A and B are shown apart, each in its own frame.
Chain A
Amino acid sequence: MKNVAKKIYLVLIMLFLYLPIGVLIFASFNDSKILGKWNGFTLKWYTQLFENEAILNSLRTTIFLATLSAIIATVLGTLACLTMNRMRKVPKSIIMSITNIPMLNAEIVTGLAFMLLFVGVGMSLSLSTVLIAHVTFCIPYVVLSVMPKVQQIDNNMYEAALDLGASKAYAFVKITMPDIMPGILSGFLLSFTMSLDDFIITHFTRGSGFDTLSTKIYTEVRKGIKPEMYALSTLLFVTVFVLLLLVNKKPAKVTERSKHAKIKKYIAAIASIAILVVGIGFGVTGGAGNYTQEVYVYNWGEYLDPEVITMFEKETGIKVHYEEFETNEEMYTIVATGARNYDVVCPSDYMIQKMIENDLLEEVDFDNISTSDNIGQQYYDRAKGFDPENKYCVPYCWGTVGIMYNKTMVDEPVTSWDILWNEKYKDSILMQNSVRDAYCVALSKLGYSINTLNENELEEATQLLIDQKPLVQAYVVDQVRDKMIKNAAALGVIYSGEAIYMQRENDDLEYVVPDEGSNVWIDGWVILKESENKEAAEKWIEFLCRPEIALMNFDYITYSTPNDAARALIEDEEIRNSIIAFPDNTILERCEVYNYLGSEGDDLYDSYWTRVGAADSE
């Protein structure tokens, strides 16, 4: 009886530990993009993975980085152990504790500290800064696994070797090294593993122009449903799992010769990793090609057809280092601290305003961008809301915030924000979990400006949001899209660009910009003041404004393009005249762009939004 209970307990624990990973692995073999819907077994995500040059590149970078940092950390860590071992007991234990602390330190603190250090000493973030960071956080693991072996070193054995005629170096190599070798090997493997799967520290210290697998997975998954990433994560998990098995594997005690063979096998495994790495390492450097110029681009995730980059590089001979960000705020921090050097960035309206006010932007020389006329004048006019003289920004994408609804679940016509307060749809409403978008809904409903700083108006809007809370199923960001596709909600607040994509996936969905008005947003290309490749940056913008290129991007990202010439090229009449993709002026006139409210304004909105979050939903 007791045994059965024990077994059940064990199974539960195992489930608890491995169920999430099990789901991930399961999803990586699912023919359907939608989680929870099994369309049959497939390996297509894996094949697609290995056809994706960007992912293969990040794989190379990851392995190169992991190997190099593991080798350096192993050498340094082992030397440190040997030195520490010669110290007296008290200083030794102090130093041991000091080396162990970084291991327990919150990774985010370590990562942030590294970023500050590198930026502080004027090193721009790059592969080498990541390497330094990785070496540093790997050393404690090496010390941890080598030190016990070093402490067990029988000094008698070393002296016996000297006694038998060995020189000091010979005795070290022949006697001491083999003795601590298991520790060194597991230190190496542990470092390799730690470096391989590190995300946080890499995220903070990486420079523009490259991704490791973990940062790649992060950016890709943030963009939406990416089963290739499930496949990649599965592979990463399996690799780490195997490595850890290797580390923990204790060679059985052997009385006869065969022990040697085992050690040799062990070494062979490491050697094969090394060969793999050298090959891939060559790939990393070999990819550089013969480019005369380069340009560092910082764009939203999933906001450009990758093919466009290849075409641009081929035509201009300019190497593109392409990086992605998730939020305007994240981008701002990176750019404003100078942590990474970019030339051309694609922020949103209010952020552009903030960057102008903080003198981060260079005026765009429109004479050098002949294709800038392809952008419709109405969009330049609208951009004046944040770039009053149209000096800094070339619009790239735009859209509205509106309501997506499921025609089978909502029977009345949707024309007003009021429907989001309708008791009938309790628990079927999805709101955006972002302060500006939430207040956009409430303020528009009340007929106030979405940029208001009037506390009475904000107070009113806040009360409205609190009243709405019991009806809301969830406050989410990306999941609005997934949930609505799966018919898991009737109504959701969403960006128009997402709406087109969602309609492709689910015919029952419809998008509307309510009559009270809403937010119209514009993302545009700006050139940074610190840019060292202004000419290349201008060429980049010029290229993106070409009608055929803008069309490629529109097809890929489905967000509305301000490029009138591109719109004219759209073959599908339904889309060309889509009221979602290209709302007419009557709709646009109801809409307002977000303005930068200053840090006090931001704080004000945040403090009200916190009250909404804290309010009891019942």
Chain B
Amino acid sequence: MNNDKLIDLVNISKSYGKNLILDDLNLYVRENEFITLLGPSGCGKTTTLRLIGGFESPDTGKIIFDGKDITELPPNKRQLNTVFQKYALFTHMTIAENIAFGLKIKKKSKSYIDDKIKYALKLVNLDGYENRMADSLSGGQQQRIAIARAIVNEPKVLLLDEPLGALDLKLRQDMQYELIRLKEELGITFIYVTHDQEEALTMSDTIVVMNQGYIQQIGTPEDIYNEPENAFVADFIGDSNIIPATMIEDKVVEILGTKFKCVDEGFGKNKPVDAVIRPEDVILVEPDKGIIKGKVTSLIFKGVHYEMEVMANGYEWLVQSTKLVPVGTEVGIDVDPFNIQIMHKPESEDEEAVALDE
């Protein structure tokens, strides 16, 4: 991965009527990166993608592509292609005609087009489907055709708008590997939009977490998961215990009236903060051996682990463990200092949304 910015969004704002969708957004995409825009619906991720694709134009700001301003360029003049959420295959055409659509517009020769169709169908493991009609294929097959149709045009960037959203779980997981493989083979940039954090964590080089039109955090999947920078990110990525706490001093945090050791520094003394503890990081021990005491109040079997709720010091802790602890058992709670993530407490609603927007 090199560090050149292939796409640069500068000070982008966009609103529909009174709804502000994006507010002064800045984001760049490097060449050959698999970047995922992740967030709940309405966070502005799809709008960002559509701005890049050229289906919307920003109210303010500009979009630089490969050093050129493409803000006002219509979609058909942009060197990128999109894979739509609902596949958007041309239902009245055959698979071959679908794939050839862009190439015919570019007036490529027939033999070139035929070769490309063959190549693309092979790439998505659907050889021999040339003469089928689009709507006779399954969802997963249609999505692969949509990808094939996009990549034959040799775009520099492939935009994917929740491409797996309409597929069932098993297919979705298979397609995730498929997409990673495709990206490796093609060696182009993928910009991927999803609300599914698991998808984002599995496939991305970089994740951009968004909420209410603001970027909350940009980082590698590991960064985002392990070091959420605010409560929104922590809450959105995986399950979390987000507990109001007070930073007593460097490396000491008081959670629910009890002092815990942590590794964070520089928050000042006696400052209100949020402490984030992942449920798999909560260790259940004998009542006397933990830092605080509690009692198991519920228990669910989840397959790989048990999920329990433990009432301790007036807070219901979410705990995941491979060991079963029956409801009603008195337990002690212990947490490794490395697994306590301290976050600034937002002082207002607004700040909660903006949070990280430096």
Instruction: Give A contacts to B, CB under 8 Å.
Output: 154, 156-157, 159-167, 170, 174-175, 178-179, 254-257, 259
Instruction: Give B contacts to A, CB under 8 Å.
Output: 53-55, 74-76, 81-82, 84-92, 94, 101-102, 105-106, 131-133, 136, 146, 149-150, 153
CB of B53 within 8 A of CB of A166, answer no
Supply 9 A–B pairs (Cβ within 8 Å), ascending by A. Answer: A154-B88, A160-B84, A162-B55, A162-B75, A164-B76, A164-B105, A166-B76, A175-B90, A256-B136
CB of A163 within 8 A of CB of B75, answer yes
Chain A residues positioned under 8 Å from B84 (CB to CB): 156, 159-160
B155, closest chain A residue (CB): A163
Known contacts A156-B86, A254-B133; is A161 also within 8 Å of B101 by CB? yes
The list of the 3 closest CB pairs from A to B, nearest first, reads: A164-B102, A156-B88, A255-B136
CB of B88 within 8 A of CB of A160, answer yes
Given contacts A162-B74, A165-B106, A166-B101, 4 further A-B contacts (CB under 8 A): A159-B53, A159-B88, A163-B150, A179-B92
Give the docked Cα–Cα distance between A170 and B55 (Å): 16
Give the docked Cα–Cα distance between A255 and B55 (Å): 32
Known contacts A165-B102, A165-B106, A165-B153; is A159 also within 8 Å of B55 by CB? yes
Q: Which of the listed residues A160, A163, A257 has the most CB atoms from chain B within 10 Å of its own CB?
A: A163
Chain B residues positioned under 8 Å from A259 (CB to CB): 92, 133
Chain B residues positioned under 8 Å from A254 (CB to CB): 133
CB of A257 within 8 A of CB of B90, answer no
CB of A255 within 8 A of CB of B76, answer no
Known contacts A156-B86, A159-B55, A159-B84; is A256 also within 8 Å of B74 by CB? no
Chain B residues positioned under 8 Å from A167 (CB to CB): 76
Give the docked Cα–Cα distance between A259 and B90 (Å): 14
Chain A residues positioned under 8 Å from B94 (CB to CB): 257
Give the docked Cα–Cα distance between A166 and B102 (Å): 7
Chain A residues positioned under 8 Å from B76 (CB to CB): 162-167
A160, closest chain B residue (CB): B88
Contact of B91 among A159, A165, A179, A257 (CB under 8 A): A179
Chain B residues positioned under 8 Å from A165 (CB to CB): 76, 102, 105-106, 153
Give the docked Cα–Cα distance between A396 and B250 (Å): 122
Known contacts A154-B88, A179-B92; is A160 also within 8 Å of B153 by CB? no
Give the docked Cα–Cα distance between A254 and B106 (Å): 29
Give the docked Cα–Cα distance between A336 and B259 (Å): 104
CB of A255 within 8 A of CB of B133, answer yes
Contact of A256 among B88, B106, B132 (CB under 8 A): B132
**A150 CB → nearest B CB, Å:** 15
**B113 CB → nearest A CB, Å:** 13
CB of B82 within 8 A of CB of A163, answer yes
B74, closest chain A residue (CB): A162
**B42 CB → nearest A CB, Å:** 19
Give the docked Cα–Cα distance between A119 and B263 (Å): 92
**A403 CB → nearest B CB, Å:** 73
Chain A residues positioned under 8 Å from B153 (CB to CB): 164-165
Known contacts A159-B88, A164-B149; is A255 also within 8 Å of B132 by CB? yes
Give the docked Cα–Cα distance between A256 and B136 (Å): 9
**A123 CB → nearest B CB, Å:** 43
CB of A256 within 8 A of CB of B90, answer no
CB of B81 within 8 A of CB of A257, answer no
**A230 CB → nearest B CB, Å:** 44
**B76 CB → nearest A CB, Å:** 5
Chain A residues positioned under 8 Å from B132 (CB to CB): 255-256
CB of A170 within 8 A of CB of B75, answer no
CB of B131 within 8 A of CB of A160, answer no
**B337 CB → nearest A CB, Å:** 50
Contact of B53 among A163, A175, A178 (CB under 8 A): A163
Chain A residues positioned under 8 Å from B106 (CB to CB): 165
Give the docked Cα–Cα distance between A31 and B102 (Å): 66
A163, closest chain B residue (CB): B82
Q: Which of the listed residues B89, B101, B102, B149 has the most CB atoms from chain A within 10 Å of its own CB?
A: B101
B55, closest chain A residue (CB): A159
Chain B residues positioned under 8 Å from A164 (CB to CB): 76, 81, 101-102, 105, 149-150, 153
Chain B residues positioned under 8 Å from A162 (CB to CB): 54-55, 74-76
Contact of B81 among A163, A166, A174, A255 (CB under 8 A): A163
B92, closest chain A residue (CB): A178
Give the docked Cα–Cα distance between A179 and B93 (Å): 10
CB of A256 within 8 A of CB of B131, answer yes
Give the docked Cα–Cα distance between A164 and B108 (Å): 13
Q: Which of the listed residues A154, A157, A164, A255 has the most CB atoms from chain B within 10 Å of its own CB?
A: A164
**B82 CB → nearest A CB, Å:** 5
**B135 CB → nearest A CB, Å:** 8
**B103 CB → nearest A CB, Å:** 9
**B87 CB → nearest A CB, Å:** 8
Chain B residues positioned under 8 Å from A159 (CB to CB): 53, 55, 75, 82, 84, 88
Give the docked Cα–Cα distance between A562 and B133 (Å): 78
Give the docked Cα–Cα distance between A207 and B192 (Å): 66
Chain B residues positioned under 8 Å from A175 (CB to CB): 90
Chain B residues positioned under 8 Å from A157 (CB to CB): 88-91
CB of B133 within 8 A of CB of A256, answer yes
Q: Which of the listed residues B53, B89, B105, B106 has the most CB atoms from chain A within 10 Å of its own CB?
A: B105
**A257 CB → nearest B CB, Å:** 6
CB of B131 within 8 A of CB of A257, answer yes
Chain B residues positioned under 8 Å from A257 (CB to CB): 94, 131, 133
Give the docked Cα–Cα distance between A154 and B53 (Å): 18
Give the docked Cα–Cα distance between A160 and B91 (Å): 12
Give the docked Cα–Cα distance between A175 and B88 (Å): 11
Give the docked Cα–Cα distance between A154 and B134 (Å): 14
**B143 CB → nearest A CB, Å:** 13
B102, closest chain A residue (CB): A164
Chain B residues positioned under 8 Å from A160 (CB to CB): 82, 84, 88-90, 146, 149
**A449 CB → nearest B CB, Å:** 78
Give the docked Cα–Cα distance between A161 and B76 (Å): 8
**B49 CB → nearest A CB, Å:** 11
Chain A residues positioned under 8 Å from B146 (CB to CB): 160
**B328 CB → nearest A CB, Å:** 53
Chain A residues positioned under 8 Å from B53 (CB to CB): 159, 163
Chain A residues positioned under 8 Å from B74 (CB to CB): 162
B149, closest chain A residue (CB): A164
Give the docked Cα–Cα distance between A162 and B74 (Å): 8
A156, closest chain B residue (CB): B88
A181, closest chain B residue (CB): B92
Give the docked Cα–Cα distance between A156 and B101 (Å): 15
**A301 CB → nearest B CB, Å:** 52
Give the docked Cα–Cα distance between A174 and B100 (Å): 13
**B160 CB → nearest A CB, Å:** 12
Give the docked Cα–Cα distance between A140 and B127 (Å): 47
Chain A residues positioned under 8 Å from B133 (CB to CB): 254-257, 259
B50, closest chain A residue (CB): A159
**B179 CB → nearest A CB, Å:** 18
Chain B residues positioned under 8 Å from A170 (CB to CB): 105
**B127 CB → nearest A CB, Å:** 17
**A596 CB → nearest B CB, Å:** 68
Give the docked Cα–Cα distance between A187 and B170 (Å): 44
Chain B residues positioned under 8 Å from A179 (CB to CB): 91-92
B85, closest chain A residue (CB): A156
Q: Which of the listed residues B89, B92, B132 has the most CB atoms from chain A within 10 Å of its own CB?
A: B92
Q: Which of the listed residues A159, A160, A178, A257 has the most CB atoms from chain B within 10 Å of its own CB?
A: A160
Chain B residues positioned under 8 Å from A256 (CB to CB): 131-133, 136
A263, closest chain B residue (CB): B92
CB of A166 within 8 A of CB of B105, answer yes
Give the docked Cα–Cα distance between A524 and B101 (Å): 74
B161, closest chain A residue (CB): A156
Give the docked Cα–Cα distance between A545 and B16 (Å): 80
B159, closest chain A residue (CB): A163
Give the docked Cα–Cα distance between A172 and B149 (Å): 19
**B56 CB → nearest A CB, Å:** 11
**A368 CB → nearest B CB, Å:** 69
Give the docked Cα–Cα distance between A157 and B269 (Å): 58
Chain A residues positioned under 8 Å from B85 (CB to CB): 156
